[in-house]
Structure 1
Amino acid sequence: MPWTMPAETEPHTRTWMAWPSADYTLGDRAEEAWVTWAAVANAIVAFEPVTMIVAPEHREVASRYLAPEVDLVEGAVDDGWYRDSGPTFVLGESGLGAVNWVFNGWGGQDWASWENDAVASLIATEAAGAARIDSAMVNEGGGIHTDGEGTFLVTRTVQLDPGRNPELTEADVEAELVRTLGARRVIWLPRGLTRDSERFGTRGHVDIVATFPSPGTVLLHDQQDPEHPDFQVCQELRASLAGVTDAEGRELEIVSLPAPTVLRDDEGWVDYSYVNHLVCNGAVIGCAFDDPNDEVAREVLATAYPGREIVMVDARPLFARGGGIHCITQQQPAVPGASVA
């Protein structure tokens, strides 16, 4: 029975998240993390249901920050990056399925822990009543984007990472995406952003550099300042997409999503990106950086997603910890014919 991954723009039953709890995320600024995760959840729940997975010992603190409309489900998780440790939901003839990838801490990073997160995808899989689809491939939700018509964006530095899939070829990865997600065309980008490729990054997740707002169109991160090393990276990414066609044979239209004007933080070059947003029912939850380009990004997103409300949430505390709004959320698509909030 074929499974297909719908576009993020299709109706959702809910969004899944996980409450942050790892020392490498909380550090000495736990409240900052809690406030930010809650701000994202509270923004989404105005448009669709949100379920937050929370370790029993953190239920009380989570309840203090989250809106009462956010559902809490207790479960063992290492941390709050549920896009990556959670399942990738798909649809098939029998309804909802959930692909459970192998999760190994973004390629076995020495700073990460994943004893619980290695099986945390089963929490949402079982609670959603989804058919379980197991994969032997190491992958994360942040490593893939689809247009819902079988076209997928991935990066070589993630899918072919020696810490993830040392024995796999491009053809092997594509075959597994065909089996699990219904891929018909896989577009390989060479890499991700500079900061995300350093020690505390993911080694190049695609969801920080490019996404499909609609079939045939790609929103591409655009670092416009030549001083930033991502200026060259973005030129390389744009060149790799030139003339590329999707699963339907359309040549992709590339729409620039300019990077924020700020170039550095206390740790070095930033990878602040407006691409790392979540599309939910009737809205786009976007990243804000208290930057002049926040309004530029809002306008680009409003044009790319007509009819949706654009809600911007300060994402600087997320990026300081290695990710963004898309990285902490995982959509559960609605089964056709089912009611949608």
Structure 2
Amino acid sequence: MQVLNEAKNGWMMPAEWSPHAATWMVWPHNQALWESGWGVTLAEVQVDFARVVNAIARFEPVKLVVDPFAVSRARELCGANVELIELAVNDSWCRDSGPSFVCHPQLGTAGVSWRFNAWGAKSEHDLDEGLARRILNSLGLEGFCTSLANEGGAIHVDGEGTLITTESVLLNPNRNPGISKAEIEQIFARLLGVQKTIWLPGDPQYVTGDMTDGHVDGICAFARPGALMVDATRDSSSVYAEVVRENRRALELATDARGRKFEMLELFEASDAVDTDAEVFCASYTNFYIANGAIIMPAYGIGADDEAAQTLAVAFPGREVVPVRINHLAHGGGGVHCITQQQPAWPLKGLKP
């Protein structure tokens, strides 16, 4: 992979609803991490994960990175149309350790390789810190390197120059000590074509216990330019309710790169699914993934699944809403969006939400 110190003018990160060439994922295989760290069996997590893989594979190609020791299990559970790519890895959160793909009107597709330090050195990452570069190498794509510690789950873009992120992640001393908002915004402008960065508080008091420190993909997601799906809770007295209120307030005060105030549609969290004995549990329906022609939605086997599916169907007319059970996977603190990374199709066309 050719390493470029500066991205040429014209590079931009497309919105997630732009057509995909493929979805990249990384198969879970670290038994000690899941069973000792998160208290669920690896076999159950793999079944959940395979459900997501196979759901996406109905709509677009899936490229599944698999540690060489786990290939047989991945092949057993995943459909024959899923491409397995053997690479040694630590963990299974491709949204964060994989590349953020960018496109250029004349130069095609490339990728940004963020400095991945496992959410502030919270987990072993000696293999995953180079995963983005290895994926880009396998595709023969150029890559933009940066010293900014960042993860794909920490940013959302609308494809029209707007990026949303959180202060509790990117300004956290465990990632980027001493760096300013202005410096980070310049990096986003240069590498992703961003014209305006919107900063949410995130989770500054670490209320959720989420190891990401407050990724934006558990707070909100673009439905289209100028419109957001936002995480909400009906338990107004909970400690999380204040986190929701502060992030919602920041969104209400914001305008996007085109000067628009945001339309917001609420997705109430799956509170009845939360395992109260779990250290963490991802109950956010905003952690959905936009695939070609579909919305792959986290589901938990509770009544709230139906409400979330109906809300997403309103927000994404013309796309099939596909609920996928992730009760075991959710114990790792992430959901459907956290384990997926879109590779845009080239050339870009038909950019409809």
Cα deviation per residue 1:56-103 (whole Å; 9 max; x = unaligned)? 111111111111110001111101101100000000130001000001
Is 1:118 paired with 2:129? Answer: yes
Partners of 2:259 and 2:307 lie apart in 1 by 31
Distance 2:262 2:249 in 1: 12
Once the two structures are TM-superposed, the CA of residue 127 in structure 1 deviates from its matched residue by 2.2
- Residue aligning to 1:320: 331
Deviation at 1:218, TM superposition (A): 1.1
Partner of residue 216 from structure 2, selected from 196, 206, 226:
206
Matched with 2:5 is none
Indicate conservation of the 8 Å contact 1:195/1:271, yes or no: no
Letter aligned with residue 320 of structure 1: H
Identify the residue that residue 250 of structure 2 maps to in structure 1. Answer: 240
Question: Which residue among 4, 8, 15 is the counterpart of 1:7?
Answer: 15
Could you tell me how far 1:265 is from its partner in structure 2? 2.2
Q: 1:251 to 1:86 in 2, by over 3 A?
A: same
Q: What corresponds to 1:56 in structure 2?
A: 68
Q: How many residues align?
A: 336
1:18 to 17, 26, 37: 26
C-alpha distance after superposition, 1:110-150 (max 9, x if no partner):
xx110100101123212223211111100000000011111
Q: 2:235 aligns with which of 216, 225, 230?
A: 225
Structure 2 partner of 1:272: 283
- Kept in 1, the 8 Å contact 2:18–2:348? The answer is no
Change (3 A) 1:79 1:175: same
8 Å CA contact 1:152–1:187 kept in 2: the answer is yes
Which residue pairs with 1:108 in the alignment? 121
For structure 1, list consecutive stretches of 5 or more residues without a partner in the other structure.
none
Confirm or deny: 8 A CA contact 1:196 1:203 kept in the other structure.
Answer: no
User: Aligned Cα RMSD in Å?
Assistant: 1.9
Contact map agreement 1:14 1:333 (CA 8 A) in 2: yes
Question: How big is the shift at 1:243?
Answer: 3.4
1:85 maps to what in 2? Answer: 97
Output the CA distance in 1 between the equivalents of 2:163 and 2:259: 13
Q: 1:203 to 1:210 in 2, by over 3 A?
A: same
Whether the aligned pair in 2 keeps the contact of 1:38 and 1:66 (CA below 8 Å) is: yes
Distance (whole Å) between structure 1 residues aligned to residue 206 and residue 34 of structure 2? 16
2:129 is aligned with 1:135: no
Answer yes or no: is 1:98 the counterpart of 2:106: no
Q: CA deviation at 1:9?
A: 0.4
CA change 1:43–1:33 in 2 (3 A) is: same
Decide which of 188, 194, 206 is 1:183's aligned counterpart: 194
Offset at residue 161 of structure 1 (A): 0.8
Where structure 2 has 5 or more consecutive residues not aligned to the other structure, the ranges are: 1-7
For 1:69 and 1:217, the matched residues in 2 are separated by 34
Q: 1:302 to 1:165 in 2, by over 3 A?
A: same
Q: TM-score, normalised by structure 2?
A: 0.91
Q: Secondary structure at the match of 2:128?
A: coil
1:69 aligned residue (76, 81, 90): 81
Give, in whole Å, the separation in 2 of the partners of 1:331 and 1:196. 30
Match of 1:283 in 2: 294
Question: Percent of pairs identical after alignment?
Answer: 39
Query: Does the Cα contact within 8 Å between 2:158 and 2:222 map onto a contact in 1?
Result: yes
Please tell me whether the aligned partners of residues 142 and 206 of structure 1 are also in contact (alpha carbons under 8 angstroms). yes
Counterpart-to-counterpart distance in 2, 1:86 and 1:161 = 21
- CA distance in 1 between counterparts of 2:282 and 2:349 reads 38
Q: 1:85 and 1:260 mapped to 2: Cα distance?
A: 26
